[in-house]
Amino acid sequence: MTTVQTQVPAQRQSSEQLQTLMQAGQISGSLSFNGLMTKEDEEMSRSALSTFKAKEEEIEKKKLEVRERVQAQLGRIEEETRRLATIREELEALTDPMKKEVTVVRKKIDSVNKELKPLGQTCQKKEREYKEALDAFNEKNKEKVQLITRLMEFFMWVKQLVSESEKMRMKKLEELSKSVETIQ
């Protein structure tokens, strides 16, 4: 396709768009006989386009302004909500001063309970460790007593053996002594 051939369909398309716009009453003016736009028509369409863009930009600016105002209002509302909550607490404190003191004491009790819980767990753990150590100590002590008892029994047995051995030796000595006397 040549340049002239591509320009013709483009011109037809733009002139059809202009005619559609003119029929809708958005662009007024005259088109030349051959369906091509005149300089005046082009100027008017540019003017209409720039007007349209300006309106769009103005709408966007207004949207942003409204959004900013809404955000500012929301910020003020949140601040007022906090102030109202503070005022409500102060009013409750004025209507029932004991209630505030009770609340303070309850918070302190809760705080102490939170501190006591790990201490109680530590105490229970130490008690278990102590009991286990005491049981181990008692077990070893019992074993020691048994070993001492066995040792005493062994010493008694050895003593008895030594005693019997001495008796036998004495008896043998007496027998030897008698035999030596009888020989003399």
Domain boundaries along the sequence of the chain: 3-95
Q: What is the pLDDT of residue 39?
A: 84
Q: What is the pLDDT of residue 26?
A: 45
Q: What is the pLDDT of residue 164?
A: 93
User: Cβ contacts of residue 84 below 8 Å, gap of 6+?
Assistant: none
Q: What is the pLDDT of residue 36?
A: 65
Q: What is the pLDDT of residue 41?
A: 82
* pTM score of the predicted model: 0.34
| Largest Cα span, the chain | 183
Is the separation of the CB atoms in 167 and 159 below 8 Å?
no
Q: What is the pLDDT of residue 69?
A: 93
> Could you read off the pLDDT tens digit of each residue along the chain, which spans 184 residues?
444 444 444 444 545 555 555 454 444 444 444 456 688 888 888 888 899 999 999 999 999 999 999 999 999 999 999 999 998 888 877 777 777 788 889 999 999 999 999 999 999 999 999 999 999 999 999 999 999 999 999 999 999 999 999 999 999 989 988 888 888 7
User: Cβ contacts of residue 27 below 8 Å, gap of 6+?
Assistant: 18, 21, 41, 44, 45, 48
